[in-house]
Amino acid sequence: MASIVLYSAAYRGDVYPFAPLANELTRRGHRVTFVVPNEFHADFADEAFTCADHGTDFSPLTLNLPENAEFVRRWGMRAKGLFLLRLYMGKLTVPYLDVMYDSLKTAADEVDADLFISHPAAATVAQIVAEKMDKPWVSGDLFPMLRATATRPPPGLPDLGQRINGLIWKSASSSLYAPVTYERKFHDFREKVGLDRGGKSMVDMMMSPHLNLGMASPHYVPTAPDWPSNYHSIGFCFWAGPSGGGLPQDVLDFLDAGSAPVVVTLGTSGATANPEIFSNTMELLEQRGERGLFLASTDGVATELRDRIANRGHGVWPFVPLQALLPRAKAVVHSGAHGTNALTLAAGLPSVIVPSLFDQVWHGERQEALGTGILVRKPKTLPAAIDRLLSDRSMTEAAQRFATLMADEDGPACGADHIERLLGSQLDPAPHDR
């Protein structure tokens, strides 16, 4: 049996996919501790693993504050999302490096950790603790489309051939971006805790020298032939939701009261940065005689929406477990956030993607390439996208075919297999039955 520490923060889509992996490792007999902001502890209260304090409130509550939501609204889709690092790193990480380091190391010391698993961005801290304790660490990569490969260009750029693609990707690791990625701050902190400065770029910090797990279906993000040999695509990891993911009775009553609704959910970022998408979509659905089930992310946004829909046939909740909800839905309008996007694909539903963050644009483009969804690049194109979502049978059929392709994938089990093989070179893991 190994003692394993997971580490993540930020949006729900940055945290929830690690829960199934933590549960699978726990089921196999390992001791698993998830170091995560306290806001998530209640969500995971019934899970098999243990939660420990992250030390900060780098979580939806903080990200939904008006000034942070406005920053995402302004910069989420500009300059390839580069200026978002001012919020995520400059404001919410770098000033708290001491706190994050101390919290993670304390949690790891308490359980005598053998291995760390980290969100790739959070690995800027996790790898420092792992290296200080002389332990291996794993990157759980939620963004395999952002991993360098000569076979395709960075998101949003034209494919100019493998040579040019490779050069563009290589430039992302150059010192050119050091001022906006805060890499010197991380190098200084390494030196502060008694390590060498390292000299890695922000991009390189997200990749582990031990093991990297691409947490997306290889059918969705094809494995690149020039990725490192320690990079493995394992498939999506779906978390059912709090308390096993059952639907509340009021949601069941709403679903039973009429036709299958269109689910409209914008994730943590879009719900507060671009809440007008909810009301605009609501009007479009009403014009077409469709019911909408709106997941507003926060109580405040939910209350505002409820005030608008009295006796209009729609339903509004801050959060509902999607894995249980989507089989009863007709289609989905979403932001392209990792978790929602993956669950929509797995449910075989067509979707309209209205991104709020730059990485979400890639998901919209990928869905369009697959024929399973429509990317809305400008607000004026939303009505036509909704029309097609509701009428284009070929898109529904493509979504159903793609769901069948992914049906046999088991991301948590595959990830746990790779982790145990890594552990096998460090210690003798306990046997488990599969």
Q: Give percent above pLDDT 70 in the chain.
A: 97
Q: What are the tens digits of pLDDT across the range 19-76?
A: 999 999 999 999 999 999 999 999 999 999 999 999 999 999 999 999 999 999 899 8
The pLDDT score that the predictor gives to residue 428 is 45
Q: What are the tens digits of pLDDT across the range 254-265?
A: 999 999 999 999
More confident residue, 239 or 180: 239
Computed from CA positions of residues 324, 325, 327, 328, in that sequence, does the dihedral angle turn out positive or negative? positive
**Rounded Cα–Cα distance for residues 212 and 144 (Å):** 10
Q: What are the tens digits of pLDDT across the range 110-157?
A: 999 999 999 999 999 999 999 999 999 999 999 999 999 999 998 878
SS percent in the chain: helix, strand, coil, step 5:
50, 10, 40
Q: Are 192 and 119 in contact (CB under 8 A)?
A: no
The pLDDT score that the predictor gives to residue 147 is 93
Over residues 372-378, mean pLDDT: 96
**Rounded Cα–Cα distance for residues 324 and 305 (Å):** 23
The pLDDT score that the predictor gives to residue 424 is 92
The pLDDT score that the predictor gives to residue 429 is 39
Out of 265-274, 293-302, 391-400, 417-426, least confident range? 265-274
The pLDDT score that the predictor gives to residue 426 is 63
- Band (pLDDT 50/70/90 cuts) for residue 432 is very low
The pLDDT score that the predictor gives to residue 311 is 60
CATH topology of domain 3-58+93-236+409-424: Rossmann fold (3.40.50)
Give the start-to-end residue ranges of the domains of the chain: 3-58+93-236+409-424, 242-406
The reply to whether 242-406 shares the fold of 3-58+93-236+409-424 is yes
Closest CA to 248 of 301, 314, 318: 318
Q: What are the tens digits of pLDDT across the range 80-109?
A: 788 999 999 999 999 999 999 999 999 999
Superfamily, domain 242-406: Glycogen Phosphorylase B; (3.40.50.2000)
10 Å CB burial of residue 115 (0-12, 13-18, 19+) is buried
Q: What are the tens digits of pLDDT across the range 200-254?
A: 998 899 999 999 999 999 999 999 999 999 999 999 999 999 988 899 999 999 9
Q: Are 72 and 356 in contact (CB under 8 A)?
A: yes
Residue 404 pLDDT > 70: yes
Which residues, listed in sequence order, are joined to residue 263 by a DSSP beta bridge? 293, 332
pTM of the shown model: 0.93
